Amino acid sequence: MLDKKIRVLIAKPGLDGHDRGVKVVAQLLRDAGMEVIYTGLHQTVEQIVETAIQEDVNVIGLSILSGAHYPITEKLMKRLKEIAMNDILIIVGGNIPRRDIDGLRALGVRGVFPTGSKFEDIVDFIKKNVG
C-alpha cells in the first residue's frame, strides 16, 4: 500500500445538491496525495457502487446534507454486502447530527465527519485505515 496511491471515490448520493463541502474534501484529499474520483451530483446507490468497482477504490466517502443520511447509507451498505464488497472503507460527511453518529457506525460506516471536521482528522483517518 505504501507505494500505491490511495484511491477515494467521493460521492453525492440522492437529490441533495449542496456540494461545497464535498468539493473542499476532494481538493483536500488530492493535496494529501490521494487519487480522488468525484461522482458529481444526484447519484443513486447503484451508480456509486458501480463507479467504485470500475475505479477500484479503497474508500467511498458519502456527502449528505439534506438529513437523509440514514436511508441512503443503509441502502449503500446493503448493496455492498450483496455483492460481497466488504473491504472498502466507508466514510460519511455532511450535515450529520452528533446523535446519529453511533447509528451510522452501527450500519458499518467507519468514519463520520460532520461539517466543520478538522482536515487532518479526515486525512489521518483514511491513511490509518486503508491497507
Partner 1 sequence: MWGETVKDTQQKEKEVVLESGIKVKPIYTPEDTKDIDYTEDVQDPGKYPYTRGIHPYMYRARPWTMRQYSGFATARETNKRFKYLIEHGQTGLNVAFDLPTQMGLDSDDTRAEGEVGRVGMAVDTLKDMEYAFEGIPIDKISTSLTINSTAAILLAMYIVVAEKQGLSLDQIRGTAQNDILKEYIGRGTWIFPVEPSLKLITDTIEYCARHIPKYYPVSVCGYHIRESGANPVQEIAYAFSIAKAYIQRVLSRGIDLNDFIPRISFNFDIHGNFFEQIAKFRAARRLWAKIVKNEFGATNPKAMMMKMIAGGGGGGLTIEQPENNIVRGAYYALISALSGTQTMALCSYDEAYTIPSEKAAIISLRTMQILIEEMGLCDTADPLAGSYYVEALTNQLEDKIVDLMNKVEERGGIVSAISKGEIQREVSRQAYLYEKMIQSGELVKVGVNKYRIVEEEERPIEFHEYDPSLVKQQIRMLNQVKRTRDNKEILKNLEKLRAMAQTDENLMPYIIDCVRAYATVGEITIVLKEVFGKFEEPVGI
Interatomic CA distance for residues 64 and 8, integer angstroms: 17
Q: Which residue's CB is nearer to partner 1, number 4 or number 42?
A: 42
**Footprint of partner 1 (CB under 8 A):** 14-20, 23-24, 26-28, 30, 36, 38-42, 44, 66-68, 70-72, 95, 97-99, 114-116, 118-119
CB of 2 to partner 1, least distance (A): 25
Q: Which residue's CB is nearer to partner 1, number 38 or number 125?
A: 38
Strand partners, 38: 10
CB of 3 to partner 1, least distance (A): 24
Q: Which residue's CB is nearer to partner 1, number 67 or number 131?
A: 67
